[in-house]
Structure 1
């Protein structure tokens, strides 16, 4: 499952969103270049962690404990409880139809099971909120059953005793009305299991759809099963729908048969067993776009008709990834097909249903919309890699979720590395670190293998995802590429089509490498937190010393001492000498001989270590770091920190000028954002970037800089931008044109209104808000319900700023629109946040006017109504992170 962008980023935006009215500078989803906001001469790294002890046996000596803080809290963690399996669910046959009006599933389930070990006289199935018409044996004999008042599980008495290995069948005729049970979490905002979208056709032109979301244990809201991750079953689904709709499910479409009265029955079959939470069923008006088969296996995309021509841009590089991941793991993609679909009002980011991946509508767009947007391919990679790690080999309990999500998270790094190179992969990695560190700063650290969570939905967080992927990256760095990927192959082959826990991954690595890796798995998977390091260097008498102190607090099961194998690069006259050391004490000093005073010392030059560290460097050292250290993070942080140093203008000019010509776009973008008074040489470089940079966001940043300065070449640059392909560049061109030719900008704006693109809408909203074009309120209101992500914050902010200039009736109507969006839990979290913030900002603006002006009864009434609306929104909101932000309003 892919956590939606807001879920990984909101933790770092809690204050920024409430205070800023412009788009934040750090936008890892849209890959907007961002400055490194660090103290001027203190290098700060944020890394994922668990704990490592200095000895393989997990002991710490008294000397090492000297000066170590006492733990303030110790968790008493019960052993993870995997579901105790009594009966093995071997096969599931479903016959399904729907009552759209009542949002009801009409089903018949034929389940074939057998006792695992002990003789069985009954079987208990998960079946949530069902009405049973009958439950019988395979021969049709009625079976007695009991169904609890909470309607969660049904216990069926079998017709006789079945001993180990003897199969039995139960046939269940039922109806189900899926509904929320209050068990949703941050990654999955509703636990209905099966969703009817616009079922009665009451929501305008929104398409009617049915789709499922089974993870964690919600598929048992629409069919009876043993709804646990350590269960595995083959399946058949016969689904009867109106002829106008297409269906998608796991496995192969065997047949489509007329069912009379304009209906059709599709028969889907999956011969390879997989977990019940991976069952999927999608119904809707889709156009099926067939790609070339991959090694004889169908690859297709279920598209809303308007996006059918853009399928390969929405789901980029799908076939190439199938080949890449097959080769990388040494296990050829094992499933019979690969299908992908975008649905409306999805309750998560994306879901790896076996062979039938579902995505939220944030993926949709035209090929032109998606220029330079790498989010889509990361999500495609994430869900595809699950077909090895999650679907083929499945975590046995939700405590072990990182065995699914950590690998899927790391697939994004692997793909970026393969497709775009080391810099792109490392830039992605630091954004993952930011997500993890932000979550820890706003919460509590916990173990990756987390046995004492309060609710299984808590597992879908930046630990299981971001930290899990980062820990795998460290493991790869430690054992080396050949051993890492050989171990993954070993793990997959040994555990295929089964459920696993973390020790099986450890043993696969130990079997492959011959090394006892219990120290690594103990500190990173079974302990919490990450190292926090204070680093200093000194040079004297022909040697350089580096001192490392571990400063992390030891509460929440965070180790006092992590064992950290790491390299140290000492650069002298531009040439590095690499020293490999092991940090295994609370404080250690390493000394290396050098021929002369080093230019700079780089700690962890490959930047694989998941840790935070403070490391003071002089401007000269930072300049040398940019000149000589090849890693992206060294260049990136040197540029960001040099720009904030006072004095040393010559060094700053040299490095920023070089950075404007860096080969990687994020560093060019950082340099642009770091400039205060460009030199003539830098100004020429900015103009060249504004005209021709191959990354649209960098080009936009350059155009905006020139717009703010009203550069003499701006008219020509603005005109060229208006003809560009990326809409983001066109939007920047419009803003530049406003500064040079307002009439031409107004004419261009009229033409741009026909374009359905968030960047264009945002630029138009800013223009109309600034000029007070109240007649454009209806245009902006049309865009409110379709704009998402950061663009929603910008659009809604501009909308409320324009509302503030309007009449009382316009304001009242606009607030009602915003309130409806904020209260609608089917809207994306970004829209709900943007709408709530817009109401709060408008209330603050109008309240200031009341204080400064004469009494206005209508205005006072509206202000009071907005206050009441905010309280209602706070009480209605289900997303925990949004509720936290809303306390600021």
Structure 2
């Protein structure tokens, strides 16, 4: 599953004006709220009287008197071998009418009962398959059915249970990663929402498929599968495995029969129903299919670009061919997470459903790779318990790095790694826990920046330490030895040890089973008398549960006399000094030269050393660290460095340089900016270069902007160009905005909203009201803000309508947390605006303004009281309030 770290981005947005200390760590820590587990302790005092032998003078000791929280792997009593499901639906009632046949046998010990997860169901029949006699059962807390089998079965005896039932899937919770645990969702079931398709889709992770069929809903269970689904003939269906038959029925329905002959976990079962265009590809002899809304049929191969190529790359890289009979990807509305790796049938939220031109700025490569890689790590080999989730998600996270490295090069991959490290380090500021987290209180809490970001970064460190040949050979062994099995972290350790011949407990103990990460202070010096370069390393981490000393094998590059020399060292003390031969003072000593270490590092390099590092060290992170730390320093060296950065091979460095141009623009630099605006290979650079040109007052800017607007397809570049055209010629810019407003998306939609807001004309309010439902991500925040600003200048009726519209978005079941936050933030801004205006008003005007502000306050409090997402409520509380 791909978790969307929306909260991290929102927190950055809310706190964007806070001051930061200079960059001294590998990454800029962001903030994310992470639960902290505390152990109950009790102080025990000695009861020995003074002077009584050994007890005299003893200090008080702190003794743990309760067990730590522990989330065990599910006990297996019965082994589920095969599941046969037959379902049809009542859209109006949002009910599932189902028949399920389960073939099982005792796991080892004899048993006379079967316990199935079956949440919120009504049972019509519970019996052995092929027999009419009802079996006795109890239904516990509307969650589990406990069936009496009538006699004891041993481990060599199979039996089949048949159940007819009605399921009424309802949510009773959710989390940051999976916002609803409903399991099966009816989308626009009664066709009441104009423009929204009717759909049914499922979301089984963690243990929510048991809301629509009875099963043993645990990750360490695994079975083969058949699914019969009956729907109206106008709909298409998708499930796991192969569509074996499709039969039209006399009542205008159709029954599709999907069959999965390879075993997989029940949480990976899926079903989707709706009006989809299906575009088919092929990889080797395996069908690859893309399910999209009909409007996007022509864009399907761009939405899921490189899918066959990824299948080939991962199969070759791992030495294990894609193991399943097909690979399908489907996009659904109102999805409650980012995406889900259901075996052979991945589900994505509609945020990835874009036209080809929208994908120029933001491709779907990362999320497609992530979900695909799960088909090896998660589906083929599955975490045995949710505390071991990183055995699924850490690998899927690292697949993103592997794909970027293969397709776009090491700079692109390392930039991604830096972002992932930053996400983890930011979350760690709110608390740390072991990567394998048996102390987790709620399984859904495992979907965090530890399981994902830290898990991926840890695999990268392991690869860097062992080398590619050992690492990937061991992964092949891990997959083949554990095929169709449930695993824990020790399975990976043993596979790595078998190939490397090395005991790796030290690595797994500190990175998988302990919490946190190293915090290092690095000092560099030169001992002229001894002719040695000196590196002093201090480990400063001190949090509870974090090792006081990490074992850190790392490379140090010493640059002197026109060449670099690699020295491999092992940091394994709290304070440690390393010396390396150097006939003269080095130009640079570069600790962690491979840039693989996950750590917070206070790296005390001089300005001269950082400039040298930018120009000579080989990796993106070297150049990024140097330029980030040198920004703002006024010197000729730094000014020259920014000019060099504009020609860097990687777009992100060029982008940083564009953000930090000098006030005085030379003719040579002006020429460079024009060239970047028109010819750079990356749309972000072209867009920023255009904006930079506009700030310089270059007389050629308008011509360059018009040319870009005509020839460009990238929304970000067209948005910059439109802003320049409007700035130079309002009438012409406004005409272009009105022409494109109905279809614009992303940055271009933001630019048009800004133009309409600048005009201040209420006639543009219907445009906003029509498009509010279409925006997402940061665009949603700025778009709702523009709507609120424009509406606040209207009469009281307009303001009342705006308040009601924002209220509806804030209280809706809309799965987009961005839209909900954008609406509440806009309400908060509107309230603050009225409070400020009321201070200088008098009489009736003051009363009206204050009354409206108080009404908005009640609405915001009502929204907060009804919001079930704790993280979103927390962000609401951070919004500034003017009294």
TM-score normalized by structure 1?
Answer: 0.92
Distance in 1, matches of 2:242 and 2:381, equals 21
Q: Could you say which residue in structure 1 is the equivalent of 2:866?
A: 876
Q: Could you say which residue in structure 1 is the equivalent of 2:222?
A: 232
Map 1:379-528 onto structure 2 (within 5 A).
379-441=367-429, 443-528=430-515
Among 743, 747, 750, the alignment partner of 1:759 is 747
**Residues 858 and 773 of structure 1: is their aligned pair in 2 closer, same or farther, counting only changes over 3 Å?**
same
Conserved 8 A contact 2:238-2:272: yes
Distance in 2, matches of 1:682 and 1:819, equals 49
Q: Could you say which residue in structure 1 is the equivalent of 2:774?
A: 786
The answer for unaligned runs of 5 or more in structure 1 is: 21-35, 49-69
Q: Could you say which residue in structure 2 is the equivalent of 1:39?
A: 22
**Residues 72 and 871 of structure 1: is their aligned pair in 2 closer, same or farther, counting only changes over 3 Å?**
farther
Among 265, 268, 276, the alignment partner of 1:286 is 276
Map 1:686-725 onto structure 2 (within 5 A).
686-723=673-710, 724-725=712-713
Most deviating of 629-638 and 480-489: 629-638
Map 1:180-579 onto structure 2 (within 5 A).
180-182=171-173, 184-291=174-281, 293-374=282-363, 376-441=364-429, 443-541=430-528, 542-555=531-544, 557-579=545-567
Map 1:98-113 onto structure 2 (within 5 A).
98-113=89-104
Higher relative contact order (CA 8 A, sep 6+): 1
**Residues 709 and 866 of structure 1: is their aligned pair in 2 closer, same or farther, counting only changes over 3 Å?**
farther
Q: Give the C-alpha shift of residue 154 in structure 1.
A: 0.5
Conserved 8 A contact 1:113-1:168: yes
Distance in 2, matches of 1:336 and 1:234, equals 13
- Deviations, residues 720-775 of structure 1 (Å, cap 9, x unaligned): 22111111111110111122112211121121113231222100111111221221
Q: Give the C-alpha shift of residue 700 in structure 1.
A: 1.2
Conserved 8 A contact 2:555-2:591: yes
Conserved 8 A contact 2:558-2:586: yes
SS in 1 for 2:868: coil
Map 1:646-661 onto structure 2 (within 5 A).
647-648=634-635, 650-661=636-647
SS in 1 for 2:359: coil
**Residues 211 and 81 of structure 1: is their aligned pair in 2 closer, same or farther, counting only changes over 3 Å?**
same
Distance in 2, matches of 1:110 and 1:420, equals 48
SS in 1 for 2:603: strand
Distance in 2, matches of 1:71 and 1:722, equals 70
Distance in 1, matches of 2:302 and 2:62, equals 51
Distance in 1, matches of 2:842 and 2:541, equals 57
Among 583, 602, 612, the alignment partner of 2:600 is 612
Q: Could you say which residue in structure 2 is the equivalent of 1:673?
A: 659
SS in 1 for 2:742: coil
**Residues 434 and 620 of structure 1: is their aligned pair in 2 closer, same or farther, counting only changes over 3 Å?**
same
Q: Could you say which residue in structure 2 is the equivalent of 1:133?
A: 124
The answer for unaligned runs of 5 or more in structure 2 is: 31-60
- Deviations, residues 543-587 of structure 1 (Å, cap 9, x unaligned): 2211111111131x1010000000111112442111110000111
Among 109, 115, 122, the alignment partner of 2:106 is 115
Among 588, 593, 596, the alignment partner of 1:600 is 588
Distance in 1, matches of 2:532 and 2:789, equals 61
**Residues 74 and 333 of structure 1: is their aligned pair in 2 closer, same or farther, counting only changes over 3 Å?**
farther
Conserved 8 A contact 1:86-1:118: yes
Number of equivalences: 843
Q: Give the C-alpha shift of residue 683 in structure 1.
A: 2.6
Distance in 2, matches of 1:9 and 1:385, equals 25
Q: Give the C-alpha shift of residue 158 in structure 1.
A: 1.2
Q: Could you say which residue in structure 1 is the equivalent of 2:734?
A: 746
Distance in 2, matches of 1:799 and 1:791, equals 12
- Deviations, residues 445-483 of structure 1 (Å, cap 9, x unaligned): 000000011100000000000000000000000000000
Conserved 8 A contact 2:69-2:440: no
Distance in 1, matches of 2:29 and 2:839, equals 48
Distance in 1, matches of 2:62 and 2:346, equals 44
Conserved 8 A contact 1:100-1:200: yes
- Deviations, residues 692-727 of structure 1 (Å, cap 9, x unaligned): 211111111111222233322211121122111111
**Residues 12 and 165 of structure 1: is their aligned pair in 2 closer, same or farther, counting only changes over 3 Å?**
farther
- Deviations, residues 343-370 of structure 1 (Å, cap 9, x unaligned): 0000000000000100001001100011
Q: Give the C-alpha shift of residue 13 in structure 1.
A: 4.3
SS in 2 for 1:369: helix
Q: Could you say which residue in structure 2 is the equivalent of 1:662?
A: 648
Most deviating of 766-775 and 850-859: 850-859
SS in 1 for 2:774: coil
Q: Give the C-alpha shift of residue 71 in structure 1.
A: 12
Conserved 8 A contact 1:825-1:877: no
Conserved 8 A contact 1:339-1:357: yes
SS in 2 for 1:378: helix
TM-score normalized by structure 2?
Answer: 0.93
